[in-house]
Amino acid sequence: MWSCIKTHWDIYPKISQVDCGFIICYTMIYRLFVGSNNKTHKVEYVKADKIVASKVAGFTTYKSKGYWQGKAENSYIIELANVKNKDVLTIAELLRIGLKQQAVGVVKYNSKMRFI
């Protein structure tokens, strides 16, 4: 049986609500869309991971297929949570330059996350 958790501020400093049995965080989720290298036409997954990991402790990635200027290409989606907006924009710019992209897409979601 779960009991109400009173505080976990030391573990989860971004928590704004605690529910019985669950730790609930209200946070911004950012999704970055990275295409293939404009010269090699390959997605540089390892290089992208190194760039992001140099700025944040944790993130989630997805290999995908996207379209840019009417052409299909392999792409990479990177999700970030609990990161400041200015840091996300810095990461996007580092990815754009480091991976020789014309642009990196950034989407911001207001989200509720549960740790069960």
Rounded to whole angstroms, how far apart are CA atoms 42 and 4?
49
Rounded to whole angstroms, how far apart are CA atoms 37 and 74?
10
What pLDDT sits at residue 4? 33
What pLDDT sits at residue 2? 31
Q: What is the mean pLDDT of each run of 10 residues along the chain (116 residues)?
A: 36 48 72 89 95 95 91 94 92 95 91 69
* CATH class of the 28-115 domain in this structure: alpha beta
What pLDDT sits at residue 25? 66
What pLDDT sits at residue 26? 67
Question: Would you list the domain boundaries of the chain?
Answer: 28-115
What pLDDT sits at residue 23? 64
